[in-house]
Structure 1
Amino acid sequence: MIYNINDFIEKELEESTDSFLFEESEQHQILLGSNFIRVPELEVDIYQGSYLIFNEEEGEFYDDFSIFVFMETGTKKAVYDEGYTGLTGAITNYCHAKSKKVNFDNLKVIYNIA
């Protein structure tokens, strides 16, 4: 489905039933949902997930914050990530970091259900 970015609802990404372990160390993990949005104009796929921190007292990981990971289109190569913000904020900050201009009124996204 193709959406205007202003009409896209992050909730659809959050409802992803499958997830995969994107990054792991002794102290943290990043779990990403299998659903993603493709932003052709920016040449990225955006995944939403959770950043987990290891709790030494309990010996397990717990959810610390929500994160968006931007990957090169069609790959699992991360080019940017951002936590503690919404989708439009993350896209705005990505564009600023990459010196790209974006017009949210015309930006289209494709919602991909894995």
Structure 2
Amino acid sequence: MTNVGEKLKKIREDKGFSPLDLEAISGVNRTTISRIENNLQSPTVKTLLKLCKSLHTSINDLFEDSENKQDCEDVQDNESIGSSEDKSEEMINLVETAKKLTPNQKQKITEMIESFITEK
């Protein structure tokens, strides 16, 4: 399975962008982009959202396993889940709204998200 950095690099290259181009349109430093693509740095969700928005791609595309892509699409069709573009836009809107929260509210949201991520 390809990692997020490799997928990001492939998408960037497929779109014809250099790391410098992506830096200019996303605001993410090209060194950070390179470190993510080379699996030397784990990106934050905020960084991934900026990069995906700039590349006009879904954040889901970075985590999707191509071998199981059809299975995921079948599940989405059967459960009437919105498109990945809708979900990406929804995430971007949530991040923009979160920027307006107080530091205390941001901390509570961060703790809640971390609790979901670390649950097994």
Same-fold call, TM > 0.5?
no
Higher strand share: 1
Normalised by the length of structure 2, the TM-score is: 0.24
- Larger relative contact order (Cα-Cα within 8 Å, sequence gap ≥ 6): 1
Normalised by the length of structure 1, the TM-score is: 0.25
Higher helix share: 2
